[in-house]
């Protein structure tokens, strides 16, 4: 069932259309990510949902009720602020209790709710500490507890892990996912980090210049990007310019390449992920011949750059470190590249 309905939302700032007729639905208990480059309108859309920004057009509905004109503090929706918004003079307990106290909760009920929220984010042992006595990750957990303690129907998170270093970020991603599953609250997270969106979300709305480019599951977005922007934004991708003709893909100066059927004739780009490119030492009917420009060992994988005559950029292939070819790839070596037709995507724009 759809919990939150965003219906034709437009928000302008003077001449800038930050959000341009966006419609989407978020389901009960869903982990939803709003993803896109800087300035694409992510934060503005989140602020409209939270009630901090009034849209110029469109409606926000929660469980069927129109909340477009409802004040932020009257919405059963909570926006988690960055951890630096914690009150520095209050303890962890005080920070988490604050919102409930404002609602008039006191005594044993208050204590029970705060204790429960602190346990949820594994911060029970730090209840008496001030924010300055906590690590960045711990402060982030307190900020989360403060948002969760009010038991919102929807929790909005704007770049929740942005201030954390990479290792802590990965750890907190797992924590966030666990929290979302444990509480069953719908989480809507704004991020510019595609890896974070792929890891966390059940579905992702990819935005560009105020519009939704693609709304899909992480797997669909990765495997079936709808255009070059989506293919380029998510993960690594090889692009080969050419044209679809007589139900095949032709790249000028390269030849006919394996590609899926069913795309109308005309100019197009073929997109293929590095891990789906097969590298071999022998032709074996492969599509392209090239020369190794360099290879980088990344632990689990080896990334090879292969120069192909008449292609402006090297093709990138990703091999498992256990692959027999991976240890002996040398600069200047002749190799062959191939892929399964159904693993490539033809992009018309
Ligand atoms: P980032 O990832 O950099 O935070 P974003 O995708 O969240 O970017 P928004 O903050 O929503 O983008 O901004 C979208 C556009 O609207 C940008 O061009 C921004 O400059 C503009 N904008 C946002 N808020 C305001 C405002 N209060 N006044 C004027 N312009 C604004």
What's the CA-to-centroid distance between 149 and ligand 1, angstroms? 29
Verify whether ligand 1 is closer than 6 Å to residue 43 (CB atom): yes
Tens digits of residue pLDDT in 120-144: 888 999 999 999 999 988 998 899 8
User: What's the confidence (pLDDT) of residue 218?
Assistant: 97
| CA count, 13 A, side-chain hemisphere, 234 | 30
Q: What is the dihedral of CA 169, 171, 174, 180, to 10 degrees?
A: -70
Verify whether ligand 1 is closer than 6 Å to residue 206 (CB atom): no
User: What's the confidence (pLDDT) of residue 308?
Assistant: 97
Is residue 25 within 8 Å of 6, Cβ to Cβ?
A: yes
Whether residues 244 and 294 share a domain: the answer is yes
Report the nearest-CA residue for atom 31 of ligand 1: 13
Query: Does residue 229 lie in a domain region?
Result: no
Report the nearest-CA residue for atom 1 of ligand 1: 38
Q: Domain containing 213: what range?
A: 2-223
Verify whether ligand 1 is closer than 6 Å to residue 11 (CB atom): no
User: What's the confidence (pLDDT) of residue 301?
Assistant: 92
Whether residues 75 and 180 share a domain: the answer is yes
Whether residues 218 and 247 share a domain: the answer is no
Verify whether ligand 1 is closer than 6 Å to residue 132 (CB atom): no
Whether residues 192 and 248 share a domain: the answer is no
Q: What is the mean pLDDT of the chain?
A: 93
Pairing of strands 77-80, 154-158: parallel
Whether residues 154 and 245 share a domain: the answer is no
Whether residues 214 and 271 share a domain: the answer is no
What's the CA-to-centroid distance between 208 and ligand 1, angstroms? 12
- The count of structural domains within the chain is 2
Verify whether ligand 1 is closer than 6 Å to residue 18 (CB atom): yes
Whether residues 53 and 192 share a domain: the answer is yes
Query: Does residue 193 lie in a domain region?
Result: yes
State the CATH number of the domain containing residue 276: 2.40.50.100
Verify whether ligand 1 is closer than 6 Å to residue 214 (CB atom): no
Choose between 324 and 88: higher pLDDT.
88
- Measure the CA angle with vertex 196, ends 154 and 222; round to 5°: 105
Whether residues 206 and 266 share a domain: the answer is no
Choose the final residue of a domain: 223, 253, 273: 223
Query: Does residue 294 lie in a domain region?
Result: yes
User: What's the confidence (pLDDT) of residue 246?
Assistant: 83
Tens digits of residue pLDDT in 240-288: 999 998 878 999 999 999 999 888 899 999 999 999 999 999 888 888 9
Verify whether ligand 1 is closer than 6 Å to residue 37 (CB atom): no
For residue 83, pLDDT over 70 is answered with no
Whether residues 296 and 325 share a domain: the answer is yes
Query: Does residue 231 lie in a domain region?
Result: no
Whether residues 245 and 217 share a domain: the answer is no
Is residue 205 within 8 Å of 220, Cβ to Cβ?
A: no
CA distance linking residue 177 with residue 63, whole number of Å: 23
What's the CA-to-centroid distance between 257 and ligand 1, angstroms? 42
Whether residues 84 and 195 share a domain: the answer is yes
Choose the final residue of a domain: 223, 257, 277: 223
Report the nearest-CA residue for atom 28 of ligand 1: 13
Query: Does residue 120 lie in a domain region?
Result: yes
Q: What is the CB neighbour count within 10 angstroms for residue 182?
A: 10
Q: Which of 13, 46, 156 to mutate to test ligand 1, by most ligand atoms within 8 A of the CB atom?
A: 13
Report the nearest-CA residue for atom 19 of ligand 1: 39
User: What's the confidence (pLDDT) of residue 23?
Assistant: 98
Query: Does residue 169 lie in a domain region?
Result: yes
CA distance linking residue 303 with residue 321, whole number of Å: 9
Q: For 239, left (φ over 0), alpha (ψ -120 to 50), or beta?
A: beta
Q: 3-class SS at 178? A: helix
Q: What percent of the chain has pLDDT over 70?
A: 99
Verify whether ligand 1 is closer than 6 Å to residue 38 (CB atom): yes
Spatial strand order of the sheet with 238-245 comes to 255-257, 248-251, 238-245, 266-272, 345-347
What's the CA-to-centroid distance between 45 and ligand 1, angstroms? 10
Query: Does residue 38 lie in a domain region?
Result: yes
Verify whether ligand 1 is closer than 6 Å to residue 210 (CB atom): no
3-state secondary structure 112-157: HHHHHHHHHCCCHHHCCCCHHHCCHHHHHHHHHHHHHCCCCCEEEE
User: What's the confidence (pLDDT) of residue 250?
Assistant: 94
Whether residues 284 and 147 share a domain: the answer is no
For residue 81, pLDDT over 80 is answered with no
Report the nearest-CA residue for atom 27 of ligand 1: 13
Q: For 101, left (φ over 0), alpha (ψ -120 to 50), or beta?
A: alpha
Verify whether ligand 1 is closer than 6 Å to residue 49 (CB atom): no
State the CATH number of the domain containing residue 34: 3.40.50.300
Verify whether ligand 1 is closer than 6 Å to residue 22 (CB atom): no
Verify whether ligand 1 is closer than 6 Å to residue 36 (CB atom): yes
User: What's the confidence (pLDDT) of residue 84?
Assistant: 64
Residue 153, class by beta-carbon neighbours within 10 Å (0-12 exposed, 13-18 middle, 19+ buried)? middle
Q: Which of 12, 18, 79 to mutate to test ligand 1, by most ligand atoms within 8 A of the CB atom?
A: 18
Choose the final residue of a domain: 161, 189, 223: 223
Query: Does residue 285 lie in a domain region?
Result: yes
Verify whether ligand 1 is closer than 6 Å to residue 155 (CB atom): no
Tens digits of residue pLDDT in 14-73: 999 999 999 999 999 999 999 999 999 999 999 999 999 999 999 999 999 999 999 998
For residue 345, pLDDT over 70 is answered with yes
Q: Which of 16, 19, 158 to mutate to test ligand 1, by most ligand atoms within 8 A of the CB atom?
A: 16
Q: What is the CB neighbour count within 10 angstroms for residue 199?
A: 16
> Please, which pLDDT band fits residue 237 given cuts at 50, 70 and 90?
very high
Nearest to 23 by CA among 53, 45, 54: 45
Is the pTM higher than 0.85? The answer reads: yes
Spatial strand order of the sheet with 2-13 comes to 16-27, 2-13, 57-62, 65-66
> Please, which pLDDT band fits residue 78 given cuts at 50, 70 and 90?
confident
> Please, which pLDDT band fits residue 294 given cuts at 50, 70 and 90?
very high
User: What's the confidence (pLDDT) of residue 164?
Assistant: 77
């Amino acid at each position: 069932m759809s919990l939150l309905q965003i219906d034709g939302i437009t928000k302008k700032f003077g001449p800038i259309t930050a959000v341009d007729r966006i419609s989407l639905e978020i389901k009960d208990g869903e982990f939803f990510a709003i993803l896109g480059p800087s300035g694409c309108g992510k934060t503005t859309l989140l602020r409209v949902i939270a009630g901090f920004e009034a849209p110029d057009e469109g409606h926000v509905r929660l469980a069927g009720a129109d909340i477009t004109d409802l004040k932020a503090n009257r919405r059963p929706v909570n926006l988690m602020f960055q951890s630096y918004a914690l009150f520095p003079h209050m303890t962890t307990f005080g920070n988490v209790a604050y919102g409930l106290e404002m609602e008039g909760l006191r005594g044993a009920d208050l204590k029970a709710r705060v204790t429960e929220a602190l346990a949820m984010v594994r911060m029970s042992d730090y209840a008496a500490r001030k924010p300055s006595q906590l690590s960045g990750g711990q402060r982030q957990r307190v900020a989360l507890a403060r948002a969760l303690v009010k038991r919102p129907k929807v929790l909005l998170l704007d770049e929740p892990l942005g201030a954390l270093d990479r290792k802590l970020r990965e750890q907190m991603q797992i924590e966030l996912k666990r929290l979302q599953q444990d509480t069953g609250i719908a989480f809507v997270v704004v991020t510019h980090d595609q890896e974070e969106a792929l890891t966390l979300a059940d579905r992702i709305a990819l935005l560009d210049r105020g519009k939704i480019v693609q709304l899909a599951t992480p797997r669909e977005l990765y495997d079936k990007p709808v255009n070059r922007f989506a293919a380029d934004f998510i993960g690594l991708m090889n692009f080969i310019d050419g044209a679809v003709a007589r139900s095949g893909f032709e790249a000028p100066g390269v030849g006919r390449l394996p590609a899926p059927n069913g795309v109308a004739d005309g100019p197009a780009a073929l997109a293929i992920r590095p891990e789906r490119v097969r590298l071999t030492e022998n032709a074996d009917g492969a599509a392209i011949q090239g020369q190794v420009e360099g290879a980088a060992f990344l632990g689990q994988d080896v990334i090879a750059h292969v120069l192909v005559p008449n292609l402006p950029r090297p093709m990138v292939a990703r091999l498992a470190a256990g692959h027999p070819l991976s240890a002996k790839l040398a600069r200047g070596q002749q190799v062959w590249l191939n892929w399964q037709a159904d693993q490539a995507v033809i992009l018309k724009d």
